[in-house]
Structures are given as C-alpha cells and as structure tokens.
Amino acid sequence: MRPIETIPRVSLVPEATPLQHLPRLSESLGGVQVWCKRDDLTWLGLGGNKLRKLEFLLWEALDQGADTIITTGAAQSNHARLTAAAANALGLRPVLVLRKPVRGPGQGNLLLDDLLGAEVRFGSWESWKECEGLLEEVAGELRAAGRRPYIVPMGGSNALGTLGYVQGALEIARQARALDLPLKSVVCTTSSGATHAGLLLGQTAYELPFDVIGISVSLPCQECAPEVLRLANQAAALLQTDPLPPEAAVVFDDYIGPGYGQVDGPTISAIRTLALLEGVLVDPVYTGKTLAGLMDLARQGTWRAGEAVVFLHTGGLPALFAYSREMNVQIGR
Ligand SMILES: Cc1ncc(COP(=O)(O)O)c(C=O)c1O
C-alpha cells in the first residue's frame, strides 16, 4: 500500500482538530460516551469538513498551473463557501456555479461567498451530468478569456477528495488511542459521500479499531451506500490497496426527514439538546440530522454505557442563519 503521507497536499487544516468530550449529552444517553470531533473548527472561512478534501484537490490544481477554481453546489453550499476561502488563501480566483432556487439570498453561505469575493453564477440542472456539462462550459469560457481553470467536483467528492478523510480517520484513531478511549464507532454525515468513504477506507486500510456509520441527509441507502463504496474503492486504487466489500458501507436513511435541506422537528430537537446541554451548535441541514440519528441509535441500544462514539462535526453553521425562518417556525417563535 502507498502510505497516505506520500500523496502531496496543501495545508488548509490544523495539525489536529479538537476531540471534545460531551459529558452531559453522554449522561442523557444512558452513559454512552459521546466525543465530538470538531472539524467545524478548521481555520479558513468559518470551517468545515470540505477543507480536508480540498487539501488534496487544490494541490492538484496548483500542480496543473491553475489560476481559477470552479466548483458547484446548492445555493447555501458549505462546500462552495470553503472552496472560495481556500482558493483565496492560495492566491486562486473562485468561481461558484450554484443551483437555483436561491435559498436565503444575502444570508448564510451566500453572504460569506460575497464577502470572500467569489464570482457567483446561478444555474439550473436536472442531473449531475448536466451540471458537469455546465461546469465545462464555464471552464471553456474562462479559458477563452485567458484563465486557467480547475474544476472541483460537487462536494469535493472524487477519488482524490476522498483521501481527506483517510487522513481524518487516522487523526481520530491517534487521538482516541492517546485518550485510551474504548471507541466503537465514528458517526458521520453522508451526502455526496466522500467524507464517509474516506473514513471507511482509512478504517479498513489501516485496520483502525472502530466502525464507521453514515447518516444520510439526502439520498436513500440504496443510492448513497453504493456511491460511498465507489468513492472508497477509487481512492483505494490511489493508495494501491484492496477494494472494500459491498457490505462495508453502513448508512442509515431514517433521519432525512421531509428531504434534503428541509428542517424537521427531530433535527431542531437535536440541535437544541446539544446547545442546551453542551453549548455546542450544529446545523439544520447536515450535522443536526446526523446528531438526531446518533442520539436515536444510542437510545436504541447500539452502544453500551461506557463505550465511546465519535460524532464528526463537519461544520455547516452558516445555514443556521439561512434557515432562520423555518427554524423559528419549528421552535414556535
Ligand atoms: C456541513 C457538512 N457536513 C457534511 C457534509 C457531507 O459531506 P459529504 O458530501 O462528503 O458526504 C457536507 C456536504 O456538503 C457539509 O456541508
């Protein structure tokens, strides 16, 4: 196997993000010890999981001589905001092609995209293929104007981006070992899939002593589990290691609620529980749903009292403001 340290990347995240114990939440869950991996506390652009993927992707962009980074996502995309921040930090120009409808204009991530000086274009598409076509069109236009664009895929999720959370899995394992934690599971959000895929590949390839559980916030299991596996296996090829068995990707889709980006009662309840018990905030689109899933799995007896579970906090907090109307309705304000 090729050691991950030999694959070049730029530096966009701290040496290690904090692994924080949540004692009052743990107590409320019957003694299952919940630890929060604070990947929301990365340095750039208000932080989040995407920076780990961008370390590998933007190294490739620089290596190819790019001067402009194009990426895409929903109007309130955390990935797009962090790509803009990371591009700025490396002296590259960000172009964001965001999908309509424009939720929260001038608010949340859109406000931050503007503050970061990103060139924001809005578009519509029905499929990823159509979206890719649109990104190629934008790249062609920029090339014709003398620029050298590099396209970062939706969510930073391709083989190279997946390596970010192989690195993340090793970091969690190192921290858990130093604290002598009886770590059973790492629970993460699964959306475009590379965060989950990277953790899973890291866990398998390096034989790390925990399992990885994904909570889908968008797609049913039968769609996102194969995607996680596909990404993990493409990244496994980069590391020259064995592919994973199909059953390796464990995803729960019971916590999506009414749909991607739609705020529901259990999510608000999880957000408020964590805020009240620990003073830690999570977001309504990704981490709030994942936390609702973790809390429900704990109550179902997935882990025993005393066992440790890591909740991966992947960021996304600007959405708290973009979704303030829906959240106020749920809270009853
Ligand atoms: C805050 C946050 N958490 C989790 C995810 C999911 O990560 P992935 O797309 O790698 O599945 C995203 C993706 O946009 C995100 O913005």
Q: Which domain holds residue 320?
A: 4-47+158-331
Determine which one of 77, 185, 191, 216 is catalytic: 77
Tell me the average pLDDT across 199-212: 98
Task: For residues 196-214, give the mean pLDDT.
Answer: 98
Read off the pLDDT band of 330 (50, 70, 90): confident
Whether residue 42 is found in the same domain as residue 54: no
pLDDT at 320: 95
How far apart CA 110 and CA 74 sit, in angstroms, is 10
pLDDT confidence of 281, banded at 50, 70, 90? very high
Q: Are residues 86 and 213 in the same domain?
A: no
Q: Are 74 and 261 in contact (CB under 8 A)?
A: yes
Q: Are residues 143 and 239 in the same domain?
A: no
Mean pLDDT value across residues 89-110: 96
For position 312, which CATH number holds? 3.40.50.1100
Residues above pLDDT 90, as percent of the chain:
96
Q: What φ, ψ does residue 80 adopt, rounded to 5°?
A: -65, -45
Q: Judge if 177 and 253 occupy the same domain.
A: yes
Residues 183 and 289 in one domain: yes
Same domain, 194 and 270: yes
3-state secondary structure of 222: helix
State which of 167, 191, 212, 271 you would mutate to test the pocket of ligand 1, scoring each by most atoms of that ligand within 8 A of its C-beta.
191
Q: Ligand 1, residues 41, 314, 320: which to mutate, most atoms within 8 A of Cβ?
A: 314
What is d(CA 286, CA 289) in angstroms, rounded to the nearest whole number?
6
Asked if 175 and 310 sit in the same domain, the reply is yes
Same domain membership, residue 281 and residue 180: yes
- Ligand 1 centroid to Cα of residue 77, in Å, is 9
pTM above 0.85, yes or no: yes
In this predicted structure, the answer to whether residue 329 has a pLDDT above a threshold of 90 is no
**pLDDT tens by residue, 17-32:** 999 999 999 999 999 9
Q: How many domains does the chain have?
A: 2
Residue 327 in this model has a pLDDT that exceeds 90: no
92 C-alpha to ligand 1 centroid (Å): 23
Overall average pLDDT of the 289-315 stretch: 98
Cβ neighbours of residue 244 closer than 8 Å, sequence gap 6 or more: 200, 201, 204, 229, 232, 233, 236
**Average pLDDT across the chain, whole number:** 97
pLDDT digits (tens, 9 = 90+) for 158-192: 999 999 999 999 999 999 999 999 999 999 999 99
> What is the spatial distance between Cα 77 and Cα 318, in angstroms, rounded to a whole number?
10
127 is a catalytic site residue: no
Give the atom of ligand 1 at the shortest distance from the alpha carbon of 188. Answer: 4
Confidence of residue 216 (pLDDT cuts 50, 70, 90): very high
Measured from the CB, is residue 149 less than 6 Å from ligand 1? no
Q: Which helix (H) or strand (E) holds 38?
A: strand 33-38
Last residue of a domain, one of 114, 138, 155: 155
Q: What are residue 212's phi and psi, to 5 degrees?
A: -115, 125
Does residue 80 share a domain with residue 109?
yes
